[in-house]
Structure 1
Amino acid sequence: MRFPQMLFLRLLWQIPCTLLILITVLLLANEYAMARPSRRTKDIPYTTIDPSGTDAERHLLDVYAPRKLSSTAKRPVVMFIHGGNWNSGNKNIYTFIGRRLAKQGVVAVIINYQLSPNVQVPAMANDCAQAVLWTTQHIAEYGGDPDRIFVMGHSAGGGLAALLATDDQLFAKIGLAQNPVKGAILDDAAGLDMFDYLTKMEYSNDAQYLTAFGKNPAVWKAVSPMYYVKASSPPMLVYAGGRTYPSITNSTQRFHQRLQELNVKHEFRVLPGKKHIGMVTQLFWQHSIIYRDLLTFVGVK
Structure 2
Amino acid sequence: MKVNKHYLFIIFIVLTIVSCSTDDNDTNLVTDLDPTEYYQELNVSYGPDSDQTFDIYLPANRNLNTEVMILVHGGGWSAGDKSDMNDLRDYIRSEFPNMAIVNINYRLADQNNQPYPMQINDITTIINLLKSKQNHYVIDDDFAFIGVSAGAHLALLWSYAFDTGNDIDMVCSIVGPTNFTDPAYLNNTNPELQALLDLYGVDASTAYLEEVSPYHQVTASAPPTILFYGGLDPLVPTTQGTDLRDKLQTLGVTHEFTLYPNAGHGWIGLDLLDTSLKLKAFIETHLD
**TM-score higher than 0.5 here?**
yes
Q: Residues 79-228 of structure 1 correspond to what in structure 2 (within 5 A)? A: 79-103=70-94, 104=96, 105-117=98-110, 118-122=112-116, 123-147=118-142, 149-168=143-162, 178-190=165-177, 192-196=178-182, 200-205=186-191, 206-215=193-202, 216-217=204-205, 218-228=207-217
How far residue 167 of structure 1 moved from its aligned partner, in angstroms, is: 0.3
* Amino acid paired to 1:85: G
Are the structure 2 counterparts of residues 60 and 246 from structure 1 closer, same or farther at C-alpha, using a change threshold of 3 Å? Answer: closer
Contact 1:38 1:99 in 2 (8 A): no
Aligned with 1:288 (options 276, 279, 285):
276
Unmatched runs of 5 consecutive residues or more in structure 2: 1-36
Paired with 1:221 and 1:287, the residues of 2 have a C-alpha distance of 29
Are the structure 2 counterparts of residues 144 and 298 from structure 1 closer, same or farther at C-alpha, using a change threshold of 3 Å? Answer: farther
Per-residue CA shift, 1:95-152, capped at 9, x if unaligned? 23223323322211111111121421211122122222222222453342113x1112
Q: Residues 207-286 of structure 1 correspond to what in structure 2 (within 5 A)? A: 207-215=194-202, 216-217=204-205, 218-245=207-234, 247-271=236-260, 273-278=262-267
Are the structure 2 counterparts of residues 246 and 199 from structure 1 closer, same or farther at C-alpha, using a change threshold of 3 Å? Answer: closer
Paired with 2:136 and 2:52, the residues of 1 have a C-alpha distance of 20
Paired with 1:58 and 1:38, the residues of 2 have a C-alpha distance of 26
Paired with 2:185 and 2:266, the residues of 1 have a C-alpha distance of 26
* Amino acid paired to 1:207: Q
TM-score by length of 1: 0.71
Paired with 1:63 and 1:161, the residues of 2 have a C-alpha distance of 18
Unmatched runs of 5 consecutive residues or more in structure 1: 1-36, 50-55, 172-176
Instruction: Report SS of the residue matched to 2:67.
Output: strand
Contact 2:106 2:122 in 1 (8 A): yes
Contact 1:41 1:63 in 2 (8 A): yes
2:14 matched residue in structure 1: none
* Amino acid paired to 1:254: D
Paired with 1:256 and 1:286, the residues of 2 have a C-alpha distance of 19
Could you say what the CA RMSD is over the residues aligned between the two structures, in angstroms? 2.9
Contact 1:162 1:186 in 2 (8 A): yes
Per-residue CA shift, 1:3-28, capped at 9, x if unaligned? xxxxxxxxxxxxxxxxxxxxxxxxxx
Are the structure 2 counterparts of residues 137 and 198 from structure 1 closer, same or farther at C-alpha, using a change threshold of 3 Å? Answer: farther
Max Rg structure: 2
TM-score by length of 2: 0.74
Contact 1:243 1:272 in 2 (8 A): yes
The total of aligned residue pairs comes to 244
Contact 2:176 2:236 in 1 (8 A): no
2:52 matched residue in structure 1: 59
Contact 1:81 1:153 in 2 (8 A): yes
How far residue 273 of structure 1 moved from its aligned partner, in angstroms, is: 4.1
Per-residue CA shift, 1:157-189, capped at 9, x if unaligned? 111111011103xx5xxxxx5242222111111
What is the percent sequence identity of the aligned residues? 23
Are the structure 2 counterparts of residues 266 and 299 from structure 1 closer, same or farther at C-alpha, using a change threshold of 3 Å? Answer: same
Contact 2:231 2:237 in 1 (8 A): no
* Amino acid paired to 1:43: N
Paired with 1:98 and 1:140, the residues of 2 have a C-alpha distance of 23
Instruction: Report SS of the residue matched to 2:196.
Output: helix
Contact 2:175 2:266 in 1 (8 A): no
**Greater shift in the superposed pair: 286-295 or 89-98:** 286-295
Paired with 1:244 and 1:38, the residues of 2 have a C-alpha distance of 39
